[in-house]
Structure 1
């Protein structure tokens, strides 16, 4: 007896009507608070590391790499006052960067038909760069502190050391922050002791040149002219 076909349940779909939704547009001047790109530099980082392999290797098969950033800090060092305010545009800054390169080393061990081994190593790096050109200048407000002293009421020739008036104005600034964009690796891996074919080695020296691209951002308040759009669904009994 021949095999019978195996039916499966199915449901016929009902066509739905499509009508355009009315959108009302009106001009507006809006103020938003969004992250703004201050700079997008590419930093060249040069590191050298020595990694031990256990068990010993006879051949390096593949090395995978990723970058993990732990710090991107902008320290302003030069300013221009904004009008007559106590806010300043930053014209020069030091960018401190720290993190590590995570390396995944796959290698063969001594013997025929042996399993590949895996060695994971974190190679730390840190440094700073001088940022003199900004896509959008950072903004920083300076805090103020004032102090007023008083004369002695009984003797106008001496001050009172137990009476003062204090005034403090603290401006809380948006902290610039970083984002990882791209990492380009140039790398030379070798055993410090030359190994013959099929001879094992336990130490791997790595010389790495990393071109690291990062974004430096700061949340700022912007005002712009835009077109405000309001979606209006079809009206029912209300509004007719």
Structure 2
């Protein structure tokens, strides 16, 4: 993605993120502050290449709700949704072509983050690319459409800061609010693999690399 000139929004969470190498949430779940910073520009360049082949779109849930987050995919499999349900597909429903290949820098970061969190041997075959604009949010949900739930989820934040919602194994469990900055990575698996999570509505702002957006990369082993 190209850099944009803007009055950059102060990252209120940067100081906290720089203070620790690893922030444990609970067994199986950690935040790795700033882990993606050295690769951020390359990652965004790769994202732009993917989106040129598989543009962002707003998916519809089985209940008929249009998601506020714009989405695309890369890798052998891509997650999609419509009124018939949630699923992974080998082809982009919009074009009928295979999803773009998973760029090497993205795959490498996902493996490194998983290993740092204690999940060696993670090889993602799906990467969801989510673009958040002001007001976009992601309600509490579980990631349970994957075949092998022993594999972790790796989530990378780029651009505007966001507040990650971290719940428990039941929707009714207390929810923690975790501030995430540009370059932060969250990994969860093992006993935390099916915990509910989401993202609060994004506040407006401007980031020099992503403009008025937050980009989230979510790596999964879906097959």
Is the pair's TM-score, using the shorter chain for normalization, greater than 0.5? no
Determine which structure has more spread, i.e. the larger CA radius of gyration.
1
Q: Into which bin does the TM-score normalised by the smaller protein fall?
A: under 0.3
**Greater helix fraction, Structure 1 or Structure 2:** 2
TM-score by length of 1: 0.21
TM-score (norm. length: structure 2): 0.22
